[in-house]
Structure 1
Amino acid sequence: MNILDSIYEEVLKHLPQILSLRNQRVQKDDGSFVTEGDLLVQRLVMDLIQQQEPGLVLLSEEMPLLPADWLTGRILVVDPIDGTENFTSGLPEWGVALCLYENGEHLDSLLFCPEMGLKVRHGDRSAIEYSRIAGISSSLTREDLLRLEPGYEYRIMGCCVYNMINVLRGAYATFENPKGAWIWDILGALNIARKAGLNVTVNEQPYEGRFLEPNRKYRFKISR
Structure 2
Amino acid sequence: MRDGTATGAENQADLDLLVSAAREAGKLAMSYYGQDPKTWFKGNKSPVSEADMAVDQMLARTLRSERPAYGWLSEETADDKSRLAARRTFVADPIDGTRAFLAGGDEWTIALAVVDAGRPVSAAVFCPVREEMFCAVEHGGATLNGVPVQASSQVSVAGARLSGPHSVVANKQIAAAGFERTDNIRSLAYRLALVAAGRVDVAVARSGPSDWDLAAADLLVQEAGGALTDLVGRQRLYNQPETRHPALVAGPRNLLDAARTVISGIVE
Q: What TM-score comes out, normalization by structure 1 length?
A: 0.85
Indicate the larger mover: 21-30 or 38-47: 21-30
Distance in 2 of aligned mates of 1:133 and 1:175:
9
The aligned counterpart of 2:171 is: 145
Q: Higher helix share goes to which structure?
A: 2
Equivalent pair of 1:59/1:66 in contact (CA under 8 Å): no
AA aligned opposite 1:145: N
The aligned counterpart of 1:221 is: 249
Q: What TM-score comes out, normalization by structure 2 length?
A: 0.72
Equivalences for 1:132-171 in 2 at 5 Å? 132-137=160-165, 140=167, 145-148=171-174, 150=176, 151-155=178-182, 156-171=184-199
Distance in 1 of aligned mates of 2:46 and 2:187:
13
Indicate the larger mover: 197-206 or 15-24: 15-24
Residues 186, 16 of structure 1: CA spacing in aligned structure 2 closer, same or farther, 3 A cutoff? closer
Rg larger for: 2
Q: Higher strand share goes to which structure?
A: 1
- Name the SS for the 2:84 alignment partner: coil
The aligned counterpart of 2:149 is: 126
Indicate the larger mover: 118-127 or 181-190: 118-127
Count of residue correspondences: 221
- Name the SS for the 1:204 alignment partner: coil
Residues 91, 47 of structure 1: CA spacing in aligned structure 2 closer, same or farther, 3 A cutoff? same
The aligned counterpart of 1:211 is: 238
Residues 13, 31 of structure 1: CA spacing in aligned structure 2 closer, same or farther, 3 A cutoff? closer
The aligned counterpart of 1:177 is: 205
2:131 to 117, 135, 153: 117
What is the deviation of 1:80? Answer: 0.7
The aligned counterpart of 1:4 is: 18
The aligned counterpart of 2:48 is: 34
AA aligned opposite 1:184: W
What is the deviation of 1:14? Answer: 2.6
Could you tell me which runs of 5 or more consecutive residues in structure 2 were left unpaired when the two chains were aligned. 1-12, 143-147, 253-268
Indicate the larger mover: 119-128 or 190-199: 119-128
Distance in 2 of aligned mates of 1:48 and 1:21:
25
Distance in 2 of aligned mates of 1:77 and 1:102:
11
Residues 180, 149 of structure 1: CA spacing in aligned structure 2 closer, same or farther, 3 A cutoff? farther
The aligned counterpart of 2:216 is: 188
1:72 to 62, 86, 90: 86
Distance in 1 of aligned mates of 2:227 and 2:69:
34
Equivalent pair of 2:118/2:239 in contact (CA under 8 Å): no
- The alignment's C-alpha RMSD in Å is 2.6
- Name the SS for the 1:43 alignment partner: helix
